């Protein structure tokens, strides 16, 4: 890519970021995605103070993503009346900040965070998540 391309380049906005996240989700193995029925992928600029407190994070740039809901490990796959949908949050600004500091593609970082947060839904170990990410 030539240098003149970068003179007009900007960070992806929320809509573009959402598109990248949905493409990353669609690239995950089918058997993995099949277990994610009903999970909402939400994108926001930053986590809320309540979200930060829930994981013990002190800085809004410390949290790249968050699983919010009741995971399969707790419910055995059953849903209950009045239960809110499970949600995977991806936080645009912390992810972009992380991207700026490492030699990884933005798509790879979003995929990593997405797999990690979905892994919380499944109750997976870090090793399980790494194997899924390697296959994606």
Domain that holds residue 98: 12-135
Whether residue 133 contacts residue 112, with contact meaning beta carbons closer than 8 Å, is answered with yes
Which of 78, 90, 22, 85 lies closest to 51, judged by CA?
90
Residue 6 lies in a domain: no
pLDDT at 7: 78
In sequence order, what E strands does 27-135 have?
40-44, 65-68, 87-91
pLDDT tens over the chain, length 136 residues: 566 677 777 899 999 999 999 999 999 888 878 888 888 999 999 999 999 999 899 999 999 999 988 766 655 555 555 567 889 999 999 999 999 999 999 999 999 999 888 887 777 777 777 787 677 6
pLDDT at 75: 55
Backbone angles phi, psi at 131, to 5 degrees: -65, -40
Whether residue 44 contacts residue 93, with contact meaning beta carbons closer than 8 Å, is answered with no
Residue 3 lies in a domain: no
Residue 32 lies in a domain: yes
Q: Give CA–CA dist 45/96, Å, rounded.
A: 10
Residue 7 lies in a domain: no
Q: Give CA–CA dist 66/121, Å, rounded.
A: 10
pTM for this predicted structure: 0.82
Burial call 13-24: b when 16+ CB within 10 Å, e when fewer: eeeebbebbeeb
Residue 110 lies in a domain: yes
Give the chain's domain count: 1
What CATH number should be reported for the domain holding residue 91? 3.30.2010.20
């Amino acid at each position: 890519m030539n240098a003149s391309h970068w003179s007009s380049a900007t960070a992806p906005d929320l809509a573009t970021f959402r598109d990248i996240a949905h493409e990353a989700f669609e690239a995950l193995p089918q058997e993995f995605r099949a277990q994610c029925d009903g999970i909402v992928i939400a994108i926001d600029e930053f986590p809320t103070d309540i979200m930060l407190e829930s994981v013990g994070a002190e800085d809004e740039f410390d949290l790249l993503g968050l699983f919010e809901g009741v995971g399969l490990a707790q419910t055995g796959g059953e849903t209950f009346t009045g239960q809110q949908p499970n949600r995977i949050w991806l936080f645009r600004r912390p992810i972009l900040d992380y991207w700026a500091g490492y030699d990884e593609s933005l798509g790879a970082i979003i995929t990593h965070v997405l797999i990690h947060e979905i892994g919380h839904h499944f109750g997976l170990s870090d090793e399980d998540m790494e194997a899924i990410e390697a296959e994606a």
